[in-house]
């Protein structure tokens, strides 16, 4: 029987395979490695997006006979019929002898694969490299466990915290390198959220584009939060969007999760940003700081309802990056976002 060290090495390879899959689309990035009884890799696979073969099935398709093999999978094999059949059943029917996985599937419909495998006589080993897999799948796992998307809040500001000049002008606070990074981050999100005030004031297209202005492969779904209608001549009407029709953030986020949104990128103005922060709904902050002083009343974040310094929301910096003359600060709440 293979040793735990072999399982860990195979799991680490499976995690590297999983990274080949798309981060968007609602499904997790999953990798799978098939080991022979001697511990050699005989096949591998990963999930390429919604509607395609899951990692286990992808790997199984590459062997003529899987009887007696060990499947090493980054996530518990699913146990439900979606666009594809349950992976637990595929593994059982293939005759796999053992399944090793890192993290339990938290999905209400998809969980239970390990139990189904055990009931069919397949040995299961769980928790191998669990911490590494939890970190790799953090955004998807967090969203799935609580039923609302992972929320990333972005803003750009001057060194003194202003998002616009007194006359409302804000283009461009940051330089080209920072603005291009924003487009890349948009392409890694399922949805991009703004308030109706931003749509009315700025008429954004909310697209993800490359250096030459070309559309990137993935375009996030624009979501407009608020009660006011989107203007008839707005650019968003040319590409499609979701109008929330409400300011109820809990309702909006639950609805987005039901639409398959797992990663939400927020680019609204200070009103939406402040509402999300005050409601404890932000999982990650991306703050672009430009070496400018603007002054005036237009701050990047508005009133959070915090009466004193003792009530301040504590954050933890996780990264600081230079982008041309600007810097990007990534931060997380010291206390995790609201469940």
**Does residue 50 contact residue 61 with C-beta atoms inside 8 Å?**
no
C-alpha dist (Å) from residue 110 to 82, 85, 125, 289? 9, 11, 18, 42
C-alpha dist (Å) from residue 79 to 85, 104, 264? 8, 12, 27
**Does residue 113 contact residue 77 with C-beta atoms inside 8 Å?**
yes
Cα–Cα distance for residue pair 295/162, rounded to 1 Å? 7
Residues forming the active site: 56
Q: Which of 3, 6, 2, 60 is nearest to 32 (CA)?
A: 60
Residues in the chain: 339
Cα–Cα distance for residue pair 28/141, rounded to 1 Å? 8
């Amino acid at each position: 029987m293979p040793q735990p060290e072999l399982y860990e090495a195979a799991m680490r390879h499976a995690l590297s395979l999983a990274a080949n899959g798309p981060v968007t689309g609602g499904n997790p990035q999953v990798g799978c490695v098939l080991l022979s009884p001697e511990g050699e890799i005989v096949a591998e696979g990963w999930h390429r997006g919604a509607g395609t073969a899951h990692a286990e099935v992808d790997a199984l398709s590459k062997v003529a006979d899987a009887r007696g093999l060990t499947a090493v999978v980054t996530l518990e094999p699913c146990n439900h019929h979606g666009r594809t059949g349950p992976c637990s059943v595929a593994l059982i029917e293939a005759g796999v002898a053992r399944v090793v996985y890192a993290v339990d599937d938290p999905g209400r419909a998809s969980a239970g694969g390990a139990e189904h495998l055990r009931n069919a006589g397949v040995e299961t080993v769980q928790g191998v490299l669990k911490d590494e897999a939890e970190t790799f799948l953090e955004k998807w796992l967090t969203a799935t466990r609580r039923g609302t998307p992972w929320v990333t809040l972005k803003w750009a500001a001057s060194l003194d915290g202003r998002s616009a000049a007194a006359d409302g002008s804000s283009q461009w606070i940051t330089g080209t390198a920072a603005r291009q990074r924003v487009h890349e981050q948009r392409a890694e999100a399922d949805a991009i959220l703004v308030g109706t005030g931003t749509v009315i004031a700025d008429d954004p297209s909310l697209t993800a584009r490359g250096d030459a202005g070309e559309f990137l492969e993935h375009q996030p779904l624009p979501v407009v939060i608020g009660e006011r209608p989107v203007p008839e001549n707005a650019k968003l009407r040319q590409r499609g969007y979701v109008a929330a029709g409400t300011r109820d953030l809990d309702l909006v986020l639950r609805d987005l999760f039901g639409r398959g949104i797992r990663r939400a990128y927020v680019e609204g103005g200070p009103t939406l940003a402040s509402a999300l922060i005050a409601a404890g709904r932000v999982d990650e902050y991306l703050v672009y700081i430009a070496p400018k002083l603007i002054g005036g009343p237009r701050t990047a974040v508005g009133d959070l309802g915090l009466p004193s310094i003792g009530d301040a929301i504590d954050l933890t910096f996780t990264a600081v990056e230079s982008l041309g003359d600007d810097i990007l600060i990534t931060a997380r709440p010291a206390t995790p976002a609201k469940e």
